[in-house]
Amino acid sequence: MFDDRTKTHSKDDRAMANWVTFGRFLLLFVLLGIIYSGVPTLQLVNAPLTVLIIALDGVDGWVARKFNEESLFGATFDIAIDRIVETVLWVVLAHLGFIGVWIPLLFIIRGNLVDAIRSKGAASGTAAFDMMQSPIGRFLVAGRFMRGFYAVLKAVAFAWILFWQPFPFLAPEFWADYGWFCVGVGLVLAWASAAICIARGLPVIIEFCVNERPGAAAGNS
């Protein structure tokens, strides 16, 4: 989930790209209503709607670049919505019993730490991904490939798990025979997402600690 709008500092906070981002936020509540509706046939919409919400993250970045609407506000706003979407979905999956509660706790702790560090950069006019200085940090955190891979992995995890939500009611015989496999794949995808979450969060924390240690500024001058 994960934005490319990080460099040009436009003052237009009403940019079209930001409205696309806000639209993703509204669709999240539609998805939550369907997930908790208790209507199995309606819950078949869960997976495609989840994919749409996450895919729109790429659309708002494209719109920002296309119409020259890139801004620090846009990048920060997009990251905030990304964080809300993923945190809410992890919490919902844990609440429904599809994954362990440790997974949303991990994402919440990591997200709070990283966002607190990035807020310092935002205060000085530095966008989140521009803060990374080390090669490994730029690859894991700011690199387009890893950002895309991480987004796709989480999207697949969310969509896969939510896709099977109504099947115990819609196809009980199938679920009795193959439900273990569907649940197992979902857990593997969730665990893999958690592992990448840690791998992408550590460089941000480590670089911040190194740069903020006493004498670091003098050593870098």
> Residue 155's closest CA among 101, 74, 76, 89?
89
Q: Say whether pLDDT at 169 is over 90.
A: yes
In percent, how much of the chain has pLDDT > 70?
74
Q: What is the pLDDT of residue 172?
A: 96
Cα(160)–Cα(154) distance, integer angstroms: 10
Q: Which residue has the higher pLDDT, 141 or 58?
A: 141
Cα(147)–Cα(136) distance, integer angstroms: 13
Domain boundaries, the chain: 16-214
Burial class (CB in 10 A: 0-12, 13-18, 19+), 196: middle
Q: Say whether pLDDT at 10 is over 60.
A: no
Q: What is the topology classification, in CATH, of domain 16-214? A: Four Helix Bundle (Hemerythrin (Met), subunit A) (1.20.120)
Mean pLDDT along residues 167-181? 96
Cα(100)–Cα(188) distance, integer angstroms: 12
Q: What is the pLDDT of residue 133?
A: 73
Tokens representing 84 are 């809300």
Provide the pLDDT confidence category of residue 165 given band limits of 50, 70 and 90: very high
Mean pLDDT of the chain: 82
Cβ count within 10 A of residue 47: 19
Residue type, 130: D
What is the pTM assigned to this prediction?
0.79
Q: How many CA atoms are closer than 13 Å to the CA of 181, on its beta-carbon side?
A: 5
CA distances from 217 to 8, 137, 174, 214 (A): 26, 19, 62, 8
CA distances from 111 to 29, 65, 84, 176 (A): 21, 26, 10, 37
